[in-house]
Amino acid sequence: MKFDGYNPGNFYDEFFDSSGEPHPWAKLLIERINSLPPKGLSNRQKTAESALMQLGITFNVYKESEGVEKIFPFDIIPRIIDGETWDIAEKGLKQRIYALNQFVDDIYHDQKILKDKIVPREIIESCASFLPQCMGLNPPRGIWCHISGIDLITDDNGQLMVLEDNLRCPSGVSYVLGNRQILKQTFPKVFEAMPIRPIEDYTSRLLDLLYYLSPDAIAEPSSVILTPGIYNSAYFEHSYLAQRMGEELVEGRDLVVHEGCVHMQTTRGLIKVDTIYRRVDDEFLDPKAFRPDSALGVPGLMEVYKAGRVALVNAPGVGIADDKLIYTYVPEIIKYYLGEEALLPNVPTYRCVDEKDRGYVLANLDKLVVKAVGQSGGYGMLMGHQSSARERKSFADKINANPRDYIAQPIISLSRAPVIVKNRFEPRHVDLRPFILYGKEIFVMPGGLTRVALKKGSLVVNSSQGGGSKDTWVLYNQNH
Amino acid sequence: MLCRVASSLYWMSCYLERAENIARFIDVNLSTLLDLSLESDLGNPWEPLIQITGDNKSFHEKYEKVNGENVMKFHTFDMENPNSILSCLSAARENARTIRETIPSEMWEQINKLYLMVKNASLSQSTLHDPGPFFKSIKMDCHLFSGITDATMAHTEAWDFVQLGQLIERADKTSRILDVKYFLLLPRVDYVGSTLDKIQWAALLKSASALEAYRKEYRQITPRNVAEFLILDYEFPRSMIFCLTQAYRSLFSITRSSGGEIHNLPERRLGKLRAQLDYTTIKEIIQLGLHEYLDGFQSELNTVIDALHETYFEPNVLELK
């Protein structure tokens, strides 16, 4: 299989420039692939897929019957990012997270940014993820957004832009780590020859973060990962991270609040828990504080948290900062708290809550992507150019009824990268979700999860909507 | 260790042992049938297979005829039968899935591979046309799992819960196979000493993987010796007393004690049951009635499992504190 017939077309391609020449950073890999014997590549793809199946790197497809477990589709051709491009992205991401953390802290304390009318008060108060229970709360070390996944896209000019902030329970990091493990077996020689930045230290950095937040200054605090359980679509990831860190994976029913602290129930009695990396949404965390019908949480947890006797990662209430309407204010937020221009631009976005913007959106639904502000995973979305008149009508009604709940963006032609399709290469659209840890300092994992829209022409990369993934190689700078 | 994790380790291991036992029962039955084809008035050779697992009722609700095809289907792929191989493997795998961070990846991969193999086989029409190699590979894959467990898992508390699940299930299955076969074979006085008789008793031993070990110990096959071997032999790893002795050791490792004193309900109940075996002879057992004895053993064993639940798997929090 060779790249001979590959046509990058009229989009920015991650492998080739507009004249069809390989980008300098992709050249070596392209040469290696072109020199493989026939079937060399498709055999490697098959081996990689069966390795994923056996490792059990699968996700549950809710609608299908038991046993129809699928591997998250994986394409063995990596996506490559050169060092200079990445360094800018890294700086931009650190800046963004640093500012967002200050924003959340401000919102739950003095609300200066609202008083100064940079962000309108109404949109905070009408935000579903705003938790009044968190007002005045001081999380350990003043950090709210410990673990984030910021979705980036590359536009036609090769410019990286922020598409979405995910600050609640962003998932996908286990696929990044798993994909890398598989690709090292798939292309060992290419790894030797190319200066690829390693990512394997992610889990030990995560563990450092959890220890750093422990309320008591003890050398080895006890930290746990709280999962909703085996039927959660990201369950594999929860268990993978627990295993990599050597920490307990617990469900709500394993924890109890006893004498003012959180404990887990073990075969040797109760053991105190210091830090909880929770993968359970805010509203299910504690039936006494939030939804009383939640069976996934721990009754009384919030009281212990407020008293500073347990750390929660990420902090409850942080969802205020990844609301898609708040997203439109992030460049102003960065400027307000840091006095700097945003290094990574936003995608231009229309606020339906704004009368002028709304008028434009309603008149141009067929040219826009409309998104519900509180949803993720590709749900609650209208892709204007592929929609029917009926779908557009239904969205127009929803926007008119609840303008606060919708934003719209022009259809951005995401960059493309080659994917193996039936023994040849075809271009498919990709995005990138880097993972950022905020502990003692802010750490950005080099690369992240490259998601691919596997359907020809599709711009939706979410796994729930037929997306797959690729390994992401960030190269060291040439003078490294 | 989390109580929930202890429970999942136990049940994962128990279900795998059950799947292995069923695969072995069927495999032995298939090869014995080849020898019986000419003289088959010993009753239906598939009948005991539904009695061994105690599932007669649910079988008859669903299948009309007790024949090879139906019994194999019922025991292998029937997801409505909670004790079929596929159901057991699925349950073992679901339990393993909830504790993937606790067990070495090799163990998870082996369970997953075995489950996927049987699941795929269940979708193919031809699997049961040549069943011998299929059941043998299930058996071997289960053994492989035990080997992997032994060689990759730290021999800590978690390992002891895996041991308990396997040993208690194994003791139960050995008692059942002895009970059912003994009962079926013994009344046929006219067969005593005949070729057929020898084949049947040998098959019973094979069903517990015991034939070769038995030969070394006793050489001649007699019903009394077979029963003694499967109940009271201290060295054979599937005898009831062997399983309980090892399980008892695991219980003491869990409480990190020497075994001199009793600390909790599981230790008390299992200790008592094992002591009963220790101080009983096969003569006494046969006098009492083998069936009655084994029946009593099985109910006692169930109370041990109940005790594990109360003490370790779902304890009352306040009592623990």
List CB contacts (< 8 A) between A273 and chain B: none
Torsion of CA B71, B77, B82, B85, to 10 degrees: 90
Chain B contact for A65 (CB, 8 A cutoff) = no
In this prediction, residue A40 has a pLDDT band, given cuts at 50, 70 and 90, of confident
pLDDT of residue A18: 86
Region of poorest pLDDT, from A35-39, A52-56, A307-311, B212-216: A52-56
User: Is residue A209 predicted with pLDDT exceeding 90?
Assistant: yes
Cα angle B224-B35-B133, degrees, rounded to a multiple of 5? 100
Q: Is the model more confident about A94 or about B258?
A: A94
User: Is residue A333 predicted with pLDDT exceeding 60?
Assistant: yes
User: Is residue B321 predicted with pLDDT exceeding 50?
Assistant: no
List CB contacts (< 8 A) between A227 and chain B: none
pLDDT of residue A66: 47
pLDDT of residue A70: 66
pLDDT of residue B219: 79
CA of B122: which chain A residue's CA is closest?
A: A67
User: Is residue A191 predicted with pLDDT exceeding 50?
Assistant: yes
pLDDT of residue A377: 62
From the list A140, A110, A138, A143, the residue with the least C-alpha distance to A124 is A110
Region of poorest pLDDT, from A123-132, B47-56, B99-108, B191-200: B191-200
Residues 6 or more apart in contact with residue A86 via CB below 8 angstroms: A446, A447, A474, A475
CB B242 within 8 A of CB B236: yes
Tell me whether the CATH fold assigned to A91-144+199-338 matches the one assigned to A350-410: no
CB B109 within 8 A of CB B128: no
CA of B79: which chain A residue's CA is closest?
A: A66
In a 13 Å sphere around the CA of A106, the CA atoms on its Cβ side amount to 21
> Are A240 and B100 an interchain contact pair (Cβ–Cβ within 8 Å)?
yes
Share of chain B above pLDDT 70, in %: 91
The shortest C-alpha distance from A329 to chain B (Å) reads 40
CB B23 within 8 A of CB B132: no
The shortest C-alpha distance from B305 to chain A (Å) reads 15
> Are A254 and B315 an interchain contact pair (Cβ–Cβ within 8 Å)?
no
pLDDT tens digits, one per residue of A49-102? 888 777 666 665 544 444 445 677 889 999 999 999 999 999 999 999 999 999
Q: What is the SS3 assignment for A460?
A: coil
User: Is residue A5 predicted with pLDDT exceeding 50?
Assistant: yes
pLDDT of residue B186: 61
Residues 6 or more apart in contact with residue A129 via CB below 8 angstroms: A168, A282, A317, A319, A320, A322, A323, A374
Between strands A275-278 and A223-226, the pairing is: parallel
The CA distance from A451 to A429, in Å, is: 8
pLDDT tens digits, one per residue of A390-407? 999 999 999 999 999 999
List CB contacts (< 8 A) between B113 and chain A: 54
CA of A269: which chain B residue's CA is closest?
A: B320
Q: Which segments of B37-130 does DSSP mark as H helices, in order? A: 47-52, 56-62, 68-76, 85-97, 105-122
Question: Which of B80, B101, B267 is the best residue to mutate to test the A interface, defined by the most A CB atoms within 10 Å of its own CB?
Answer: B101
The CA distance from A134 to A229, in Å, is: 26
The shortest C-alpha distance from A429 to chain B (Å) reads 33
Share of chain A above pLDDT 70, in %: 95
> Are A254 and B312 an interchain contact pair (Cβ–Cβ within 8 Å)?
no
CA of B118: which chain A residue's CA is closest?
A: A67
| CB burial of residue A456 (10 Å; 0-12, 13-18, 19+) | exposed
The shortest C-alpha distance from B98 to chain A (Å) reads 6
User: Is residue B197 predicted with pLDDT exceeding 90?
Assistant: no
The CA distance from A252 to A267, in Å, is: 17
CA of A256: which chain B residue's CA is closest?
A: B317
Q: What is the mean pLDDT of chain B?
A: 88
Cα angle A146-A328-A353, degrees, rounded to a multiple of 5? 125
Q: What is the SS3 assignment for A452?
A: strand
CB A154 within 8 A of CB A12: yes
CB A346 within 8 A of CB A328: yes
Phi, psi of A60 (to 5 degrees): -85, 135
Whole-number CA gyration radius for chain A: 23
pLDDT of residue A196: 94
Closest partner residue to B4 (CB to CB) among A54, A247, A251 is: A251
- The H or E element that residue B101 is part of is none
Chain A, 214 to 243: residues with Cβ < 8 Å from chain B are: 229-230, 235-236, 239-240, 242-243
Residue type, A349: T
In this prediction, residue B193 has a pLDDT band, given cuts at 50, 70 and 90, of low
The shortest C-alpha distance from A295 to chain B (Å) reads 16
Closest partner residue to B1 (CB to CB) among A67, A267, A270 is: A267
List CB contacts (< 8 A) between B4 and chain A: 251, 253-254, 265
Segment A411-418 mean pLDDT = 90
In this prediction, residue B297 has a pLDDT band, given cuts at 50, 70 and 90, of very high
Domain ranges in chain A?
91-144+199-338, 350-410
CA of B157: which chain A residue's CA is closest?
A: A267
The shortest C-alpha distance from A54 to chain B (Å) reads 6
Residues 6 or more apart in contact with residue B316 via CB below 8 angstroms: none
Domain ranges in chain B?
1-153, 155-321
User: Is residue B320 predicted with pLDDT exceeding 50?
Assistant: no
List CB contacts (< 8 A) between B101 and chain A: 239-240, 242-243, 247-249
CB B200 within 8 A of CB B185: yes
> Are B90 and A264 an interchain contact pair (Cβ–Cβ within 8 Å)?
no
pLDDT of residue A64: 41
> Are A267 and B108 an interchain contact pair (Cβ–Cβ within 8 Å)?
no
> Are A54 and B109 an interchain contact pair (Cβ–Cβ within 8 Å)?
yes
Q: pTM for the complete prediction?
A: 0.83
Q: Is the model more confident about A467 or about A68?
A: A467
Residue type, B257: S
| CB burial of residue A188 (10 Å; 0-12, 13-18, 19+) | exposed
Chain B contact for A266 (CB, 8 A cutoff) = yes
pLDDT tens digits, one per residue of A338-375? 999 999 999 999 999 999 999 999 999 999 999 998 76
CA of A243: which chain B residue's CA is closest?
A: B101
pLDDT tens digits, one per residue of A138-160? 999 999 999 999 999 998 888 99
Region of poorest pLDDT, from A223-237, A301-315, A345-359: A223-237
Segment A445-466 mean pLDDT = 86
CB A165 within 8 A of CB A330: yes
Chain A contact for B3 (CB, 8 A cutoff) = yes
List CB contacts (< 8 A) between B99 and chain A: 249
Chain A / chain B CB contacts < 8 angstroms? 69
Cα angle A416-A174-B86, degrees, rounded to a multiple of 5? 110
Closest partner residue to B2 (CB to CB) among A55, A248, A258 is: A248
Q: What is the mean pLDDT of chain A?
A: 90
Chain B, 203 to 232: residues with Cβ < 8 Å from chain A are: none
Chain B, 112 to 141: residues with Cβ < 8 Å from chain A are: 112-113, 116, 119
pLDDT of residue B185: 67
pLDDT of residue B8: 96
> Are A258 and B317 an interchain contact pair (Cβ–Cβ within 8 Å)?
yes
User: Is residue B289 predicted with pLDDT exceeding 50?
Assistant: yes
pLDDT tens digits, one per residue of A270-281? 999 999 999 999
Q: Which residues of B174-190 are buried (b: 16+ CB within 10 A; e: fewer)?
A: bbbbbbbbbebbeeeee
User: Is residue A411 predicted with pLDDT exceeding 60?
Assistant: yes
Residues 6 or more apart in contact with residue A166 via CB below 8 angstroms: A148, A149, A150, A151, A322, A376, A433
Q: What is the SS3 assignment for A351?
A: strand
Segment A207-217 mean pLDDT = 89
CA of B255: which chain A residue's CA is closest?
A: A268
| CATH of region A350-410, choose from 3.40.50.20, 3.90.1150.10, 3.30.1490.270, 3.30.70.260 | 3.30.1490.270
Going B76 to B80 to B83 to B88, the CA torsion angle's sign is positive
> Are A54 and B113 an interchain contact pair (Cβ–Cβ within 8 Å)?
yes
CATH of domain A91-144+199-338: 3.40.50.11290
Segment A307-312 mean pLDDT = 94
The CA distance from A167 to A319, in Å, is: 6
User: Is residue B42 predicted with pLDDT exceeding 70?
Assistant: no
pLDDT tens digits, one per residue of B52-106? 777 888 899 989 888 888 999 999 999 999 999 999 999 999 999 888 888 988 8
User: Is residue A137 predicted with pLDDT exceeding 70?
Assistant: yes
Please give the structure tokens belonging to residue B198. 């020898």
